[in-house]
Structure 1
């Protein structure tokens, strides 16, 4: 097929159309509804699990919004080879949650301060972000190594690794479990989490697309209100926050957790593949080419922008960024694919990020309320990995790769003592289910011979016997 190969879509505004200001503003607000919670949640979860102060948590949330605004502008505007030039939204990535939490705990266990914890997270991310930039130059080659089977295994392991975090939040949070275990999993906490969980399920199953799209937002709002009525929201913690959050490079210093360099680099490799999929979907719903020079330049530029934006995030005290797939659904529903909408979205994100009160209100969400939402989010991550795996036929070779990757990955997570005779550095590296399982999947995908036997479409499982 030629460079002009496109999927026909029903658009009101195409990629380079310029909607009027009012139309652009409302289109941007709809995107904000879809992405806001996704952008701020990683900072909230990491802050809660690591026990960071309200002031630091609020600042990290503010910087997540600020950096996402700058990153989105870079993607949509496109500067030379950097950026896709599509209506592609950038936001804080869930993929890195487990590794970021692991870095924080490793510094904390060594007696480090909260500033040293986040400095190590951001420093390690900055050091490894060039992985994505480099691989953006080798997109066709990379797609042969990181197949849907491999990326699906890694994404599934990420979701499964985070389930413990979600369940801990439902019970009241890591701090409560460690310091006041007798109050952990109290009826009050479990009921609050259940209210959020049930609300999200009800709205998600609604026939109304707007209610369905805002299910997580509505669930958190209702849980927040109930918690506030019960006196569980500590509003006094945000009374001392400054009026404006200024983006200060390396505000908390710079450090590197060498034991987590390999896990973080692996995740940037996986994020590269995820971004290729997101950008391809954005191109498709925008009625743009899906093959040829234009398409490849956009994909390469988008992935390069992804890596550069993650480096900017580390510099400005935020967590790695990635392309968001949520906006593709909004484009389909609204029929607005103009990249100029991205400029409005960028402006709103930067504006919200400059005012600490926005981050402060999110930073004091009770853990049980957050847990009711994150347990679905993390489960969805695992389910997304399974869907990626299921996108290709699984033969005996695929089953072997999955079995060993999942077995070793989750095995070291369940029984970390199996690594007790390894040097401390290797214990830290391979103690992560993502690293062990992901590297295993990549290695086996390279060395195991492929079967080219044609399989039946009606019986894709026949070769498993």
Structure 2
């Protein structure tokens, strides 16, 4: 770990080929999580094959646009941290519900309204920074990593727990072998090879899957060569108060999670985030959501797994992220390229996620090591992480509550964060703003 930090501390000059490899590593890390949302939404709304192909391709394209908005600093937008954006899973349940009960138009109207809401309250939300001292942010980042570990294990098993092949020997071999390759490279390799350990692990796992006959190239031949984004492809946005309110609750949930990712990256890159930085970050995600509604895709937010990539590679520059955003734009316009990436077995990606999410959780523990371990601070850490993990392992705990309330309470990261903030204020009082 110290070796990683020393590497990141150096002003590493990256050649174009090395930058491309690092960018591709970022892309693969987020790819599975991103295409999962359009796959689930498309299935829930009964999209046909042509509609599904369009949705996935344009979603990937919009990920590139959203990432550019966040990485490039402008007078109004851009937190300028090494982060890749993807479709926000927090909106999944609300979009499915609105799309099936009220229609696609109201679903996309809710997406646009959520984007406008995030943009407008960005300044107010950023002013809450004082409620995020180290004891809170450290707990939240630990939660972000550890609450995603079950997702990694589900992917190692094959992704779909209802599938008869879930947890098959081939899935387990591919998943844990991928994780083992990444770990071995981190332990024994040096220099640039060490920095692309996740990419190498995914490639090795995919090659073994080919040898085992587990990859079917048919999707490549069926995909189109070119796909141009079109506004309002599925439906013209419509607006209605209850659907909008549901989406606003999801937006707040997403902003809380993004805050944790921002602070995690700031800690890794040794940058002191200001309220203005946070405001720019929220604004970028708000604009990305508005564009998502216009082009009939999704709201977009920071991806936690890419925090693990930055930690593992030790490369904290923005250049690889710019390249990754460019790759996403190209993949989105050329569905055949996107189809190649979709061939990577879910179990292989799950093995990579296991290491990456674990590193995110370890980063949170590292931050908590700087907190004075008083009884009050220990209570903040213990209860917030305990509740967050508890909600994650028992997501149906609040099933008797209204769907809009479940949108917030079913998210372990959000519940844990809210718990940490409230307990820190109650137990630490005036110390709540300085992290002591």
CA displacement 1:218-257 (0-9 Å, x = unmatched): 1111111221222211211232111112223354546958
Report the counterpart of residue 3 of structure 1 in structure 2: none
1:69 aligns with 2:64: yes
2:409 maps to 1:430? yes
User: What is the alpha-carbon distance in structure 1 between the residues aligned to residue 309 and residue 373 of structure 2?
Assistant: 30
Cα deviation per residue 1:134-179 (whole Å; 9 max; x = unaligned)? 45435873221122332333333333333222222222221xx324
**Preserved contact between residue 161 and residue 433 of structure 1 (Cα < 8 Å):** yes
SS in 2 for 1:321: strand
CA separation in 2, counterparts of 1:451 and 1:401?
15
Q: Deviations over 1:355-387 (max 9, x none)?
A: 112211122322222222222233333333333
Alpha-carbon distance, 1:100 to partner = 4.7
Distance in 2 between residues matched to 1:416 and 1:369, nearest whole Å: 26
Q: What secondary structure, in the 3-state scheme, does the structure 1 residue paired with 2:194 have?
A: helix
Which of these residues, 106, 127, 141, is aligned with residue 141 of structure 1? 127
Gaps of 5+ in 1: 1-8, 14-22, 285-289, 454-459, 461-465
State how far apart, in whole Å, the 2-side matches of 1:427 and 1:297 are.
Answer: 31
Deviates more, 1:46-55 or 1:267-276: 46-55
Q: Distance in 1 between matches of 2:331 and 2:294?
A: 19
Aligned residue number for residue 162 of structure 2: 178
Single out whichever of 196-205 and 29-38 deviates more from structure 2. Answer: 29-38
Partner of 2:6: none
Partner of 1:242: 224
1:340-368 deviation line (CA, Å, top 9, x unaligned): x9776654442333111221112232222
TM-score by length of 1: 0.71
Q: SS of the residue aligned with 2:77?
A: coil
What is the 5 A alignment of 1:3-402? 25-26=16-17, 28-29=19-20, 31-46=22-37, 62-63=57-58, 65-75=60-70, 78-83=73-78, 88-93=81-86, 96-97=88-89, 99-100=90-91, 102-103=93-94, 107=97, 112=100, 126-130=112-116, 132-134=118-120, 136-137=122-123, 141-174=127-160, 177-180=161-164, 183-253=165-235, 256=243, 261-272=248-259, 274-275=261-262, 278=265, 300-313=279-292, 315-316=294-295, 317-322=297-302, 346-402=325-381
Aligned pair in 2 of structure 1 residues 130, 157: CA closer, same or farther (>3 Å)?
farther
C-alpha contact 1:169 1:371 (8 A) present in aligned 2: yes
Partners of 1:73 and 1:271 lie apart in 2 by 16
Q: Which residue number in structure 2 is paired with residue 444 of structure 1?
A: 423
Measure how far apart 1:196 and its partner are: 1.2
Q: 1:444 to 1:125 in 2, by over 3 A?
A: farther
Deviation at 1:416, TM superposition (A): 5.1
Q: Quote the offset at 1:268 in angstroms.
A: 0.8
Q: Give the 3 Å change call, closer, same or farther, for CA 161–89 of structure 1 in structure 2.
A: closer
CA RMSD of aligned residues (A): 4.4
SS in 1 for 2:230: coil
Distance 1:382 1:367 in 2: 22
Shift of the alpha carbon at 1:296?
7.2
Unaligned residue ranges in structure 2 (runs of 5+) = 1-8
Q: Which residue of 2 aligns with 1:456?
A: none
Deviations 1:256-277 (A, max 9, x none): 5865643541331342454366
Deviation string, structure 1 residues 284-304 (Cα, Å, up to 9, x no partner):
6xxxxx69xxx8766654553
Secondary structure at 2:429's aligned position in 1?
Answer: coil
TM-score, normalised by the number of residues in structure 2: 0.75
Q: Give distance in 1, aligned partners of 2:364 and 2:370.
A: 10
Q: What's the CA shift for 1:424?
A: 4.8
